[in-house]
Structure 1
Amino acid sequence: MCAVTEEQALRADARANHDRLLEAAARAFAADGPGASLRGIARDAEVGIATLYRRFPTRELLVEAVYRNESGRLADAAEQLRETLPPLEAVIAWMRQFLEYLSTKSGMAETLRLLFTTDQGLRLQTRAALVEACAGLLEAAADAGQLRHDLDPLDVLMALGGFAFIAEDQAEPDLRERLIRLLVDGLRV
């Protein structure tokens, strides 16, 4: 068995710090919006503020990294859900995750708007990955006879985006769940 070198251990530790920073920042942006405290993010990630600034010298770079990370996790979740849940349950579980993702994204909206004006490719790349993830889930449920075959995954994502916007302003804890069920009922065969 090969011993772990000091450099490999440092890289693993740095990667763990990076991952904890992204998770803490996602929580903070979802809860506190764009003005989330960077010191609070570092504290939540159990790293020093210098570690945060070394990895993400500006708030904008942190927002972009969180956006990329959360988008990737959501796209990857579709395959995991398809492998572990019946098709329609996987669609519903992913819709819930998508709405959670949108709540994180809304806390970063102002910074993301500026980012997207300079990097349209990032927005389009993310949209394509999420449409593909959604399409796979919808197709599996349609093949199982649970949903219609004529569904456009982008339409479904747009509907969920509208739900997120509506639910953001309401204090009803079960509103998102009711809206998901309403949408799924409209997608059935």
Structure 2
Amino acid sequence: MTDVKPMRADARRNYERLLEEAQRAFAEHGVEASLEEIARRAGVGIGTLYRHFPTRDALLETLLRARFDAQAERARELLAHPEPLNALHTWLAGLGDATGTFRGLVELTADALNDETSRLYESCHAMREVGSQLVERAKRAGELREDVTAHELLLLLHAASWAGGHLPGEGGMQRLLALVFEGLRAS
């Protein structure tokens, strides 16, 4: 077991400022926001950003890990919900909101589901695993079509999230997800 050396106070402040500015930049400009601009806004050099976050994926993974872990925990809680299909829909809607935070994040997380080298893979894979339990539970209850997989549902969610962002007004992803679910109900 290796001992992790605690960060110096100034390094911790730089780390926190980088995360704050990255959150703002990604919200404003999407996942392709300039890392140089993030460092500048945080008041540090680009080398400091890369010391803390060697890649863009590492920075995104740090920002998103807590959000994705919370979605996996929410799925575990919903396994006890009395209506399995409603539980699955509730979880996917929350996940859609979480992945729609930054422009381009939908594509990134969809790719991360299949790329074991991605820094986001572990978080995305954990969500898919617990999501699979919700899917299987809805199938066993006879509420969800037997031929639907968790992977397909996640890809449909990503599609609804991406397309919903191109609809006028608020709630586009939620509306599209509701339409998808109507087609997924067991007959």
Fold in common (TM above 0.5) = yes
Aligned partner of 2:168 in structure 1 is 171
Structure 1 Cα separation of the partners of residues 165 and 178 of structure 2: 17
1:57 Cα deviation (Å)? 7.7
Q: Secondary structure at the match of 1:149?
A: coil
Distance 1:107 1:30 in 2: 10
> How well do the aligned residues superpose, as a CA RMSD in angstroms?
4.2
The structural deviation recorded for 1:77 is 2.0
2:132 corresponds to: 135
- Superimposed CA distance per residue, residues 30-70 of structure 1 (whole angstroms, 9 cap, x where no aligned partner): 4442438748x97xxxxx979x9986587654223124333
- 2: CA distance between counterparts of 1:158 and 1:109? 9
What SS does the corresponding residue of 1:35 show, helix, strand or coil? coil
Per the alignment, in what secondary structure is the counterpart of residue 130 of structure 2? helix
| Number of residue pairs matched by the alignment | 170
Shift of 1:80: 1.8
Larger helix proportion of the pair = 1
Displacement of 1:154 = 0.9
Distance 2:148 2:102 in 1: 25
Q: Residue 99 of structure 2 aligns with which residue? A: 102
Q: Which amino acid aligns with 1:145?
A: G
- 1:35 is matched by which residue type in structure 2? A
Which of these residues, 114, 121, 132, is aligned with residue 116 of structure 2? Answer: 121
Q: CA deviation at 1:122?
A: 4.3
1:99-141 C-alpha deviation (Å, 9 max, x unpaired):
122213535579x69xx7xxx4244444432321221111222
Aligned letter for 2:116? G
Gap runs ≥5 in structure 2? 1-11
1:76 aligns with 2:105: no
Q: TM-score, normalised by structure 2?
A: 0.63
Percent identity (aligned): 32
Alignment-derived partner of residue 8 in structure 1: none
Aligned residue number for residue 35 of structure 1? 33
CA distance in 2 between partners of 1:127 and 1:135 (Å):
12
Which secondary structure state, in structure 1, belongs to the residue aligned with residue 70 of structure 2? helix
Alignment match, 1:183: 180
Q: Is 1:147 aligned to 2:144, yes or no?
A: yes
One-letter identity of the residue aligned with 2:33: G
Return the TM-score normalized by structure 1: 0.63
The alignment partner of 2:80 has SS state of helix
Show the 5 A alignment for 1:48-67: 61-67=58-64
Determine if contact 1:95/1:160 at 8 Å carries over to the other structure. Answer: yes
- Counterpart among 87, 90, 93 of residue 93 in structure 1: 90
SS at match of 1:145: coil
| Contact 1:30/1:103, CA 8 A, preserved across alignment | no
Aligned residues of 1:78 and 1:133 also touching (Cα < 8 A):
yes
Residues 1:172 and 1:84: Cα distance change in structure 2 (over 3 Å) = same
Higher relative contact order (CA 8 A, sep 6+): 1
